[in-house]
């Protein structure tokens, strides 16, 4: 399992885990576009925080409409989940269309489907217009259902959502799947970081009068009124004034509404090398269970080979014990070897990523509250690349005064009901979160026994009620320790052995084990150092 060294990804600046995604093979960190830190006060029309697919796409659409934009990112561009995706764009939402119709009604479902089809077309248009070499490939997708599901009803539901011009086609058999399957055409795969970096280079090279980007610039706070928004930058004596503020991020800043309206999951990916002659000529995705796989291919430096990417399995962030992380990769490997015997024995890349799953399977896109000039894109529900492109269209329309046909469906001020209970989502999660925060999360291990390149959360005084310490031992056997409480809601952290981070079971915040740096919200500050080694590492992360 390839892991980043501190020299290539210091403080998890380039990606939010210590395992690299497959995309760095053809787009290494050294070739990424780099931007400066913000060091002076600014005034602009629209500020966007979050330089992933949602933020970059929104910046592009606004600049094309003549709007001045400042894009901010707390680490490097595309260092969040966009760069750790599987590069698939499809018109499915991780649940059956029958269920989507029941949840949202047929008219809203048609708008949902229409917006996802738009996302695929728009990404293709941009890649072509800007001449971005990102391996954009249109492919059909084979969607598998569980044996107990009625295939004919799902095909009927999809056809109702898609309309008569895009009817689903039933298939008798699909390679690498023994479930009931139907096919939809014109889905796509792309190289996510090449695509997004291509947009950034275009904006920087051709629209420097309207576009600027600043990295390692974390928004600490903001205050809006009817005339504009004042934005405070963490650790800097500078601020930004803007007419509009867009939070294009997994978890918007200081927003209990979205924190409680979403759930936070880890999902897993592997990339095996297979002969190009055996490559799938379609995408495969399964709606069979929470372990349903999505399979696609990516280009390989050897023209005779391709990477077979398999994504599958998920669990709530920090809700499993450390011995249950690796079995998720083992399940993916078993599936690959069963269906592709010629695949290399050990995957060349194995990594995980985070999903922000809204309770009604739709992203929150639009004004944070009716009438405000603060906007959000969050709640990707596992289809983040699609929603980034969809969100860019909706927000660029709203900011420029254009009515958007999808804005009511994705209304960011809505309060979704639970899929299972007739309650608001806040009430559904509350008891579970309280119980999880009270669990004994401490590892029963002495620091001396901790293996190198490993972390643990222990009690400072070795009692159940002692202050938790998040301890990491590096490859040289030297330890550093931070306070083991999330800086957001003070949940006791848990060690993530896959990505070598400390994760929070309450709302999914994640922290780099080497520096304590926050790499996933809602926390907006790093862990508090508890010894000199940790203080030195934390200071270094600020200077990066």
Please state the three-class secondary structure of 163-222 as a single string.
Answer: CCCCCCEECCCECCECCEEEEEEEEEECCHHHHHHHHHHHHHHHCCCCEEEECCCCEEEE
Sign of CA dihedral 413, 419, 422, 424: negative
Confidence class of residue 544 from pLDDT cuts 50, 70 and 90?
low
Q: Reply yes or no on whether the pLDDT at 3 is more than 50.
A: no
Q: What pLDDT is attached to residue 91?
A: 82
Among the ranges given (413-417, 424-428, 531-535), the one the predictor scored with the smallest mean pLDDT: 424-428
How far is Cα 307 from Cα 236, in angstroms, rounded to an integer? Answer: 43
Q: How confident is the model at residue 32 (pLDDT cuts 50, 70, 90)?
A: very high
What architecture is the 438-543 domain classified under in CATH? 3-layer Sandwich (2.102)
Alpha-carbon span 179 to 173, nearest angstrom: 8
Interatomic CA distance for residues 65 and 393, integer angstroms? 11
pLDDT category at 435 given cuts 50, 70, 90 is: low
> Would you state the pLDDT for residue 25?
95
For residue 436, the SS3 value is helix
> What does the pLDDT read at residue 429?
52
The 10s digit of each residue's pLDDT in 273-315 is 999 998 888 888 876 544 457 888 889 999 999 999 999 988 9
- From 176-185, 186-195, 272-281, 383-392, the region with the lowest mean pLDDT: 176-185
* CA nearest neighbour of 537 among 447, 452, 450, 471: 471
Of 183 and 60, the structure prediction assigns the larger pLDDT to 60
Whether residue 543 is predicted with pLDDT greater than 70 in this model: the reply is no
Q: What is the percentage of the chain residues whose pLDDT exceeds 90?
A: 61
Residue 335 CB partners (closer than 8 Å, separation 6+):
293, 310, 312
Condensed to tens digits (0 to 9), the pLDDT of residues 327-354 reads: 999 999 998 998 899 898 899 999 999 9
pLDDT band at 176 (very low <50, low <70, confident <90, very high): very low
**440, two tokens:** 């004994």
Check pLDDT > 50 for residue 136: yes
Do the beta carbons of residue 391 and residue 355 sit within 8 Å? no
Q: Evaluate if residue 419 carries a pLDDT over 60.
A: no
**Is 463 a residue whose pLDDT tops 60?**
no
State which of 289-303, 379-393, 404-418 shows the largest mean pLDDT: 379-393
- The pLDDT value recorded for residue 270 is 96
Q: How many CB atoms lie within 10 A of CB 105?
A: 12
What is the rounded average pLDDT of the residues 460-470?
A: 73
Radius of gyration (Cα) for the chain, nearest Å? 22
Average pLDDT score, the chain: 87
79, 12 in Cβ contact below 8 A?
A: yes
User: In the chain, what are the domain boundaries?
Assistant: 141-188+263-358, 438-543
| Encoded tokens for 269 | 């990916």
Which pLDDT score is estimated for 198?
Answer: 98
Q: Which residues lie below 8 Å from residue 70, measured CB to CB, with a gap of 6+?
A: 42, 44, 46, 47, 48, 212, 213, 214, 240, 242
Question: For residue 536, is pLDDT > 60?
Answer: yes
Helix (H, G, I), strand (E, B) or coil at 64: helix
> Does the pLDDT of residue 60 top 80, yes or no?
yes
Please tell me the least confidently modeled range out of 299-313, 381-395, 434-448, 521-535.
434-448
Architecture of domain 141-188+263-358: 2-Layer Sandwich (3.30)
What is the DSSP-derived secondary structure letter of residue 450? P
Nearest C-alpha neighbor of 315 from the set 353, 360, 259, 271: 353
Does residue 542 have a pLDDT over 70? no
pLDDT in tens, 162-173: 887 766 554 444
């Amino acid at each position: 399992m390839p892991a980043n060294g501190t020299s290539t990804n210091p403080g998890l600046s380039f990606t939010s885990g210590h395992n690299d995604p497959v995309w760095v093979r053809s787009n290494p960190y050294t070739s990424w576009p780099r931007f400066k830190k913000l060091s002076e006060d600014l005034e602009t029309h629209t500020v966007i925080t979050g330089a992933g697919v949602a933020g970059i796409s929104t910046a592009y659409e606004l600049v094309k409409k003549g709007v001045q934009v400042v894009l901010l990112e707390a680490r490097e561009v595309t260092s969040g989940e966009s760069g750790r995706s599987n590069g698939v764009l499809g018109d499915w939402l991780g649940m059956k269309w029958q269920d989507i119709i029941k949840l949202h009604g047929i008219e809203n479902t048609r708008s949902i489907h229409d917006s996802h089809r738009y996302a695929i077309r728009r990404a293709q248009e941009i890649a072509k217009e800007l001449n971005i070499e990102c391996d954009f490939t249109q492919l059909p997708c084979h969607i598998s259902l569980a044996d107990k599901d009625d295939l004919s009803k799902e095909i009927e539901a999809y056809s109702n959502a898609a309309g008569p011009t895009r009817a689903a086609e039933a298939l008798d058999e699909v390679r690498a799947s023994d479930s009931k399957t139907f096919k939809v055409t014109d889905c796509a795969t792309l190289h996510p970081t090449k695509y997004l970096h291509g947009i950034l280079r275009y904006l920087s090279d051709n629209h420097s009068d309207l576009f600027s980007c600043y990295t390692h610039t974390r928004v600490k706070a903001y205050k809006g009124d009817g005339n504009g928004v004042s934005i405070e930058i963490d650790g800097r004596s500078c601020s930004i004034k803007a007419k509009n503020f867009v939070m294009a991020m997994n978890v918007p800043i200081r927003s209990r509404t979205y924190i409680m309206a979403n759930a936070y999951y880890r999902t897993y990916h592997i990339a095996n090398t297979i002969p190009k002659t055996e490559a799938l000529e379609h995408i495969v995705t399964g709606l069979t269970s929470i372990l349903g796989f999505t399979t696609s291919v990516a280009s390989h430096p050897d023209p005779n080979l391709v990477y077979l990417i398999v994504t599958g399995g998920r669990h709530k962030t920090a809700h499993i014990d450390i011995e249950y992380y690796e079995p998720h990769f083992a399940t993916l490997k078993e599936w690959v070897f069963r269906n592709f015997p010629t695949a290399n024995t050990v995957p060349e890349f194995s990594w995980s990523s985070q999903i922000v799953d809204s309770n009604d399977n739709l992203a929150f896109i639009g004004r944070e509250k009716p009438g405000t000039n603060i906007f959000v894109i969050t709640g990707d529900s596992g289809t983040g690349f699609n929603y980034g492109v969809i969100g860019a269209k909706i927000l660029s329309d709203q900011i420029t005064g254009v009515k958007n046909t999808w804005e009511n469906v994705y209304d960011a001020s809505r309060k979704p009901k639970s899929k299972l209970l007739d309650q608001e989502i806040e009430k559904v999660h509350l008891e579970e979160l309280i119980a999880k925060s009270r669990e004994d999360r401490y590892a029963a291990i002495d620091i001396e026994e901790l293996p190198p390149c490993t972390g643990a959360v222990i009690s400072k005084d070795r009692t159940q009620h002692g202050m938790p310490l998040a301890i990491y031992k590096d490859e040289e056997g030297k330890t550093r320790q931070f306070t083991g409480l999330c800086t957001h809601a003070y949940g006791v952290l848990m060690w993530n052995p896959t990505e070598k981070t400390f994760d929070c079971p309450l709302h999914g915040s994640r922290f780099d084990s080497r520096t304590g740096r926050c790499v996933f919200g809602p926390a907006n500050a790093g862990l508090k150092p508890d010894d000199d080694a940790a203080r030195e590492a934390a200071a270094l992360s600020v200077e990066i």
